[in-house]
Amino acid sequence: MNKDFLTDSQGIPVSDDQHSLSLGPSGPIVMADPVFLEKLAHFDRERVPERVLHAKGAGAFGFFRPYQSMAQFTKADFLQSPETITPVFVRFSLAGGSQGGADTVRDIRGFAVRFYTDEGNYDLVGNHVPVFPFRDPLQFPDFVHAIKPDPVSNIRGGPIGTSRFWDFMSLRPESMNFLSYLFSDIGTVQSYRTIQGFGINTFKWVNLRGDEVSIKYHWEPCAGVQCIDSRTATQLAGSDPDIAGRDLFETIAAGQPVEYELCVQIMNVSDAANQPFDPLDPTKIWPEDMIPLLPVGMMTLNKNPGDFFVEVEQAAFSPASLVPGITLSNDRILQGRVFPYGDTQRYRIGPNYANLPINRPRHPVHHKMQAGPMQTRCNDGIANYLPNTLGGGMPLPAPERGCPAPQFASGEIARTEPEGDDYYQPGCRYRNMTELEKQHFVSNIVENLSQAYEPIQNRMLEHFLRTDPDLGRRIAQGIQTVP
């Protein structure tokens, strides 16, 4: 049969899927119509649940090539030679909004990269700002609830929505560094080609000898970092709400590759205690004048998705996807992210989401997990368990490449609040801004904070004054002038 002829999902020829079976031209339709039943039933199920965070996104395919071997620091296979070219898929997204939101609103942009390495998938899941607003993953649900529409009116903005956001932030002073980025012009962008990306958390690289170093990831756009002011962002939200996704798609479709340089900051694990900040605190940056960036390689995006739903909406990233040579640090947020990302996708897409082509590793998969909705992998024989003799003991445990890194931990198990100076880094960031950047930063905060309830405004002003007296005074004066 000609492959261009219409069929149903079973491959059975369909001669007409535009007219329902009916009892004469004016009579009722009949339910004994397999074409109608299948087409409408499938249509009813075309959507999967929207992501709680990072719902709206855009994606592209490409490749990554290291500049030189990183074997001194890591045994990760894809970082051993400049001759190694690793396929990648990248999903950019907006963190707080829904699928129908505008690309230019003030928000955090997700920057998630999947490396399809010869040792399995490595997911580097980050954002376009380098810090988190809190230090403990137990606060994730509260933070998300605070930035989403309120549960009574289902409205995100206005006095109630704005007060909810600032209420949470005012009670978490470690969020000040995060706010210094979100309310700068970096918080409003119109192109994914001109944003930075950050792994945010502290990871560890391990080499063949078992030596460990702590690292931070940075993506630098080769087109340069660009942002827009609040007024332009508002205008574009109305006139071209999909501008960032459209710009990425059209640029690649025109044959122009989009490039980002991967850099890392490297710190000896033993040096962590000697720093003036906690290197495992995701609300802090590692100052580049103290710990400079080391260029690692270049990522080139040169292919658009062929089907948005199949290759972007169903893409499922997780910080738990780690290849040999890259491990977790004791960063609380990082360790807390290991579980919920994959668990979310099992709920949203299904327990076998990793079988989908966009999520499937290039490396062969061998394990004894079985069944579940949409399973496509067949069991290899009757021994669907380990250990076994009926299946020849297969699959065998994977051999360790090189020496494993030693792991030590001790201490009292308790619920504790990490200590740290929450005002020094955002204060330095403000003082290093140009005068125009300061004006925009203050204006952006005043525009938003002025809508919150007065007790919450006052609580936030105390934090801004402690961050920098000049910043606090400017914000207080700005709020007083708002009609």
Query: What 8-state DSSP symbol labels residue 209?
Result: T
Rama region for 402: left / alpha / beta (φ>0; ψ in -120 to 50; rest): left
Respond yes or no: is residue 366 known to be catalytic: no
- DSSP class of residue 264 equals E
Taking the C-alpha atoms of residue 381 and residue 8, their distance in angstroms, rounded to an integer, is 33
Q: Which two tokens stand for residue 471?
A: 């910043």
DSSP 399: P
Known binder of ligand: residue 341? yes
Question: How many whole angstroms separate alpha carbon 57 and alpha carbon 91?
Answer: 6
Largest CA distance in the chain: 85
Tokens of 337: 């992210």
d(CA 483, CA 479): 9
Comparing C-alpha atoms, which of 161, 216, 208, 185 is closest to residue 442?
Answer: 185
Q: Which of 54, 128, 218, 463 is catalytic?
A: 54
Residue among 121, 127, 352, 359 flagged as catalytic: 127
Q: Is 127 annotated in the active site? A: yes
- Which residues pair with residue 357 across a beta bridge? none
Written as one letter, the residue type at 371 is: A
Give the integer Cα–Cα distance in Å for 311 and 58: 10
CB 213 within 8 A of CB 272: no
Map tokens 């990306």 to a residue: 197
Query: 49 preceded by cis ω (within 30°)?
Result: no
29/136 Cα distance (integer angstroms): 58
Contact assessment for residue 296 and residue 65, using Cβ atoms and an 8 Å cutoff:
no
Q: Which two tokens stand for residue 258?
A: 């989009």
Question: How far from 73 is each of 2, 207, 209, 481, CA to CA, in Å?
Answer: 55, 5, 10, 54
Q: What radius of gyration do the chain's Cα atoms show? A: 25
* Residues in the annotated binding site for heme: 341
Residues carrying an active site annotation: 54, 127
